[in-house]
Structures are given as structure tokens and as C-alpha cells.
Amino acid sequence: MPVRIVQSQQNERLKELRRALRQDGSGRSGMIAIEGPNLLSEAQRAGLFLAQVFVSQESANILDQLSFPAETDVLLLPRTLLCSALATETPQPLAALVKPPSWTWNDLIHPAASPAALLVVLCGLQDPGNLGTILRSAEAFGATGVVSLPGTVSAWNPKAVRGSAGSIFRVPFLRAGLEECFTRLAEAGVQMWATAARDASPVAEVALTGPVALLIGNEGNGVPADVAAKAHGSLTIPCPGPVESLNAAVAASVLLYEASRQRSASARPQSKRSRSDR
């Protein structure tokens, strides 16, 4: 595996890494920046192309545990130089520029591995940590994709990528305008449910086994009224405790769990005999 030594802050690849991490994770080249061996391993597991890998000279032995294709450019540089480009408070000894996955509406709405679409639509979500958590929950509970509407933080924000723990590399994800999103979902027969803190149907009473999109709103203001008006209806998570509403990522996770629970229950073979027959 050929390795190049870098000693200058003016190295073009290092500048691209720095730029990507300062601009919500995506640089001019379209590559996205990731930090740390765990995310790099997740990117490799997802089959993404690693354009450049940056390794601290003080941790050069980490290369003995890694394998890259011949096209990957591996750069070895002093730790202080690498740290100057990274965004975390405790910089990792490893970073990379990676070609992001490319998804289509068909991947989200007509997934090969799922009988019915289960989507999360983000309406102005601002916290990248929340977005990362939602992506992780989306993968955990079998969602077929996530759609980001205008006003939502970038999914390639470094904090969002870290929060997703690699799910961002595998969960189909698209950015779309409001009209495009709702037109696509309506044409595919996807029911859209807005989330609300009150005056909505309890989620356990809403059928989520068919093609469904869950609209998750801004942390402070929820789903905008004009967006909620386009939905099939509103649902809520009943909270017996004295809490007015749940964190956006927690709410999305609970809703995804409920959808997964309903789908698993409907997929189980029904007993041929009722209890009264036994």
C-alpha cells in the first residue's frame, strides 16, 4: 500500500479535508469527510470509495490493520497537522474523504427487501445530533429511507455522521423540495402522518403496516402547519408523565419502533384455531 508523506498545511488534499469538515461535511469535490477508524470501517463495510485517507505519523501502526484499494491515496502527516484540519475536540488519528452513496426515490419508496415503504421525512430539523440518531434508529427499525426537506441540517455534518454510527452510509437518504417530496409520496400511495404533541391520534391506534411516511418537525416548533395540512393525519405518543413533548430524535425512534412492532406482528402466521376452539 503506497503511502505519501505530507508536511505542509497547503497540501490540496488536506485543504479539501479541512474545507469539507467546515462546510457540513461535504467539500468542493463532492467527497464527504469522516473521522476515526470506526466510521472508516463502516464506510468500507458499506462499499464506499475512499478517495484519500489521512493518518497521523504517531499512529502509523494503524495502517498494519487496514487494507485499501490501489486507487485510495494514503497520506501520512504529523499529528498536529492532521489535528489542525479536524473538527472534534478530541481529534482522531485517522480521517478520510469518501465518495457518498447515491440514492434514488425508487430506493426509498420501492425497496427490494421490504414489502412496504417506511420513511422518515425531516421538516426543518436543526440539531445534527438528532439527525444522526434518527438515521441510526431508521436502520435499526427497518425504515426504507429518510427524506430531508429544506431547512434541515446537512446529513453530512460531522456530528450527524458520528451520531449515525455509520447508518448514514446504508440508509437511503435524499434531500428534496416540499412539493417534489409530497408528489412522489402521493403517487406511490404512501400515507403521510405528521407528528404532534396533542390533538392527534395515539400512535398505537394508527395502522403503520402499509406504505407510511412519518413527518418529524423542528425541535422547537414541530411540523409546520402548512406541511401538516398536506398529511393524511396527525399522530402523537401518549406520555403519562408530566412532560409536554419528546425530543425529536426520541419521538422518531419511538414511532419507528411502533411501526416495526406492527409490521412484525402482521407478518407472523396466524393460529388456525381461536382460543375459544381450544
> What pLDDT is attached to residue 243?
80
Domain residue spans in the chain? 3-98, 105-267
Cα distance between residue 48 and residue 64, in whole Å = 21
> What pLDDT is attached to residue 275?
47
- Class level of CATH domain 3-98: alpha beta
pLDDT tens digits, 145-180: 999 999 999 999 999 999 999 999 999 999 999 999
> What pLDDT is attached to residue 74?
94
Confidence grade of residue 276 (pLDDT, cut at 50, 70, 90): very low
pLDDT tens digits, 243-267: 877 899 999 999 999 999 999 998 8
Does pTM surpass 0.85? Answer: yes
**CA distances, 120 to each of 40, 114, 185 (Å):** 26, 15, 12
Whether the domain at 3-98 and the domain at 105-267 fall into the same CATH topology: no
- Class level of CATH domain 105-267: alpha beta
Share of the chain above pLDDT 90, in %: 69
